Amino acid sequence: MSIIRNILNLPFAIIFFFISLIALVVNLFIPRKKFIEIQRRAQQNEISERLKSVEGLIKSGDKVLDVGCGNGHFGKAVADRLKAKVSGVDVVDYQHAEIPVKFYDGHKIPHRDGAFDVIILAFMLHHVEHQEELLAEAIRCSRDKVIIFEDVYFSPWQWAFVVWNDFYTNILFGAVRVVKGEAGKGLLSIPMPLTFRSVKGWQALFRSYPVTLKRTTVRHARHKPHSKCVFCLEVKP
């Protein structure tokens, strides 16, 4: 990240804190049908960005496990667009999953060693305190790749914004989604330990495992101090 962008993240973080609170109130009064339409469009845009990140990493016919799959929309998109065989596991029942889902204790993935070609962990590792244990489980169950999506930070104030953004999105705005009937109540019980890391912090962690880091891609939001990263880990035989 450029020095200028990093400096600008501080005022942006302050501004967007207040904007997000205003947006919360506004969304409470938006008609339900319009609210759902806006959320679906935003979700489709995010899924499109994620699909661009995994194109070329997931092949037709690959067996894929989406760990922390949530509502299953991303997993379904991977299945439809990339012709992969996708299933999921999660600790929370979101009630709207579009792929086969198993529920588990958040520690031991209920599948055998090397059961999948690709394991996806999309924006879920910061929701667990035992990241090292769960990452080891993902590697155990993969015979080829582990793809990790994470919110990352490059400065203390960006870390503060990322923490706020996650709490706001999942809990505060999540409550609005539940009230509007756009999401199930399970969303509000999502664990929130907020265990974020910097890009270098994640890369340092990966060196402890039998994997090779093949790709690191950072995507900066255009309109707020928010950065997302995709890591592709190749599992060593």
The hierarchical CATH code for the domain 3-235 is 3.40.50.150
CB 152 within 8 A of CB 202: yes
Tens digits of residue pLDDT in 48-101 = 999 999 999 999 999 999 999 988 999 999 999 999 999 999 987 765 667 999
Mean pLDDT of the chain: 92
- State in Å, rounded, how far the first CA of the chain is from the last one: 34
CA-closest candidate to residue 219, choices 167, 156, 151: 151
Q: What percent of the chain has pLDDT over 70?
A: 96
CA dist 210 → 58, 121, 171, 231 (Å):
20, 17, 35, 15
Strands 142-152, 63-67: parallel, antiparallel or unpaired by DSSP? Answer: unpaired
Tens digits of residue pLDDT in 197-234 = 999 999 999 999 999 999 999 998 877 888 999 999 99
pLDDT at 1: 62
Is residue 121 over pLDDT 60?
yes
Average pLDDT over residues 15-35: 94
What residue ranges do the domains of the chain occupy? 3-235
Tens digits of residue pLDDT in 131-147 = 999 999 999 999 999 99
Model pTM?
Answer: 0.93
